[in-house]
C-alpha cells in the first residue's frame, strides 16, 4: 500500500471553486478505478493551504492510473480547472511508502 499526498495553496477568493473542481475530479476518477481523495485544510499555518490524500495498492498501480489519466482529454480539462485555482508553484506531490521500524 502506498499513499499519494498532495499539498497546495489555493488562491484567495478561489476556495469554493477549487473544492468544486476537486469534487468533480473525484467523481470522474471513479470510472478509471481511482481511489477517492480526502481533503484536509490547515487550521493554522499558511492561509488556504490544503492537503489531499488517497491510498493505492502499489506504486505500480499509481503509475498505471497516472498514465491512463494523462491520456484522457476530459481528465486533462478537469486538472486544468483545478490548477487554475492554485498559487503558482505551490503544488507538491509525494508518493509515500510505510517504513517498517522492525
CATH of the domain at 91: 3.30.70.100
Condensed to tens digits (0 to 9), the pLDDT of residues 15-54 reads 999 999 999 999 999 988 999 999 999 889 899 999 999 9
The CA-atom distances, in angstroms, between 28 and each of 3, 50, 67, 73, 98 are 20, 21, 15, 12, 28
73 lies in which domain range? 2-97
Between CA 15 and CA 37, with CA 97 as vertex, the angle to 5 degrees is 30
3: confidence class by pLDDT, cuts 50, 70, 90: very high
For residue 72, give the DSSP letter.
-
Mean pLDDT computed over 55-74: 94
**Is residue 102 assigned to a domain?**
no
Residue 86 belongs to a domain: yes
For the question of whether the overall pTM of this predicted structure is more than 0.85, the answer is yes
Q: What is the number of structural domains in the chain?
A: 1
Amino acid at each position: 500500500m502506498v499513499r499519494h499526498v498532495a499539498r497546495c495553496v489555493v488562491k484567495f477568493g478561489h476556495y469554493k471553486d477549487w473544492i468544486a473542481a476537486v469534487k468533480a475530479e473525484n467523481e470522474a476518477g471513479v470510472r478509471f478505478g481511482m481511489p477517492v481523495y480526502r481533503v484536509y485544510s490547515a487550521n493554522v499555518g499558511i492561509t488556504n493551504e490544503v492537503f489531499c490524500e488517497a491510498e493505492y495498492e502499489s506504486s505500480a498501480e499509481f503509475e498505471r492510473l497516472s498514465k491512463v489519466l494523462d491520456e484522457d482529454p476530459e481528465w486533462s480539462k478537469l486538472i486544468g480547472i483545478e490548477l487554475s485555482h492554485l498559487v503558482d508553484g505551490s503544488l507538491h506531490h509525494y508518493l509515500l511508502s510505510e517504513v517498517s521500524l522492525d
